[in-house]
Amino acid sequence: MKKFLAMMLVFLMLLSLAACGGSPGNSNSGGDSGSGQGSGSAGTITLKAGMSGNETSPTYVALSEFKRLVEERTEGRYEIEIYTNDQLSSGEQMKAVEMTMNGTIDIGMHAGSLWGTYVPQIQVVSTPFLFSSYDEADKLVLDPESEGYKLIEGWLGEKGVHTLGILEQGFRQLSNSKKEILTPDDIKGMKFRVPQTSMLIDAFAAMDASASPMSFSEVYTALQQGTIDGQENPLSAMVTGKFEEVQKYVTMWNYSYDIFVINASGKVWDSLSDEDKAIFEECGKEACAAEIAASREADDGFRKIVEDAGVQITELTAEQQAAFAEACASVYEKYRDTMGEDVYAAFGYEFN
């Protein structure tokens, strides 16, 4: 199963490279931008699932696998329609999160950083250089029995949604069009696109670089026109955005870890029988595990696409990473009270 999903993911990414325009929505949508539960044929209950990415996004693997498993294990009693590009909220990411909270969207899959607007503590996962490896993330974030996973479940539960699984987009890496970056001094005065996440904006400020928040759809043009020098994203997102066409250097620094969460709205969760709740839980966790395995297996493919485009990739040593982490130390202190020392401890960080 893992190899099949990895192959599917690589195929989807290559399909993205061949495409010359924006990506379409899910073919099942039929142009309907409505949401909410409905009844299909023979009493089938239709649930509408929304996500920010398109069909070429690595995270799409999780939602499509969740759909397949639920429909199979409920023997067709439930049908899940996937709407990409946040069609259900007219393309507005934050509105999509709100619609999942209020039950207008049945199933939502969005980045933890977006949830940070409503659940500030969840941003702890994105703290720069909190995790240095996938092994640490597996143990502290992705294990359903870990304290970190349970904290995330609880925080989102307070907002009226039920967590069905946590997946990843991976570590965010750095690209730019100017020079090879090896030390914090190398990025001083440069301008980078970052998502609208205060902690990441603060991290670049701590390193004396300029952070320019903007939507993902605007990044390619900004890079092409030189409005910004670079950006930070997992390699998969770089390839999805075709940034290798307008960047010369990539620094593999593993500075921030990206999670996504699959949630059922409270309205949907409360409507499920205990048996179906168990099925949805099981399917969510299996789908997330499949996406993580597929994404990691596909990493070499993403890297090859970037390298074949002529981009120079620099892998930082542990010592070089530590220098960047030291430069970002003020970020931990700034968010110490907001997050709480106990929360940081749950994700493996202890203050001196």
Domain ranges of the chain: 2-17+25-168+260-304, 173-255+307-346
- CA dist 236 and 58 (Å) reads 7
Where in the chain does DSSP place strands (E)?
Answer: 38-39, 45-51, 78-83, 107-111, 161-176, 191-194, 210-213, 230-233, 249-265, 312-315
pTM above 0.85, yes or no: no
Contacts with 114 (C-beta within 8 Å, 6 or more apart), sequence order? 52, 93, 94, 97
- CA dist 205 and 184 (Å) reads 11
**Is 2-17+25-168+260-304 a domain of CATH 3.40.190.170?**
yes
What region does 265 belong to: left with phi over 0, alpha with psi -120 to 50, or beta? beta
Q: Do the domains 2-17+25-168+260-304 and 173-255+307-346 sit in the same CATH topology, yes or no?
A: yes
Collapsing DSSP to helix, strand or coil, 351 comes out as: coil
Determine the topology of domain 173-255+307-346 in CATH. Answer: D-Maltodextrin-Binding Protein; domain 2 (3.40.190)
What is the pLDDT tens value at each position of the chain, 352 positions in all?
444 444 455 545 444 443 333 333 343 333 344 445 665 556 899 999 999 888 878 899 999 999 999 999 999 999 999 999 899 999 888 899 999 999 999 999 999 988 988 998 998 998 999 998 899 999 999 999 999 999 999 999 999 999 999 999 889 999 999 999 999 999 999 999 998 788 899 999 999 999 999 888 899 999 999 999 999 999 988 998 999 999 999 999 999 998 999 999 999 999 999 999 999 999 999 999 999 998 888 888 999 999 999 999 999 999 999 999 999 999 999 999 989 999 999 999 998 8
- CA dist 285 and 212 (Å) reads 35
Give the pLDDT confidence score for residue 277 in this predicted structure. 98
Hey, how many other C-beta atoms are within 10 angstroms of the C-beta on 235?
28
Which residue from 242, 231, 101 is spatially nearest to 172, judged by alpha carbons?
Answer: 231
Length reported for the chain: 352
Q: Would you report the helix, strand and coil content of the chain in percent, each value rounded to 5?
A: 50, 20, 30
Burial class (CB in 10 A: 0-12, 13-18, 19+), 91: middle
> Is there a contact between 297 and 2 (Cβ–Cβ < 8 Å)?
yes
- CA dist 212 and 207 (Å) reads 14
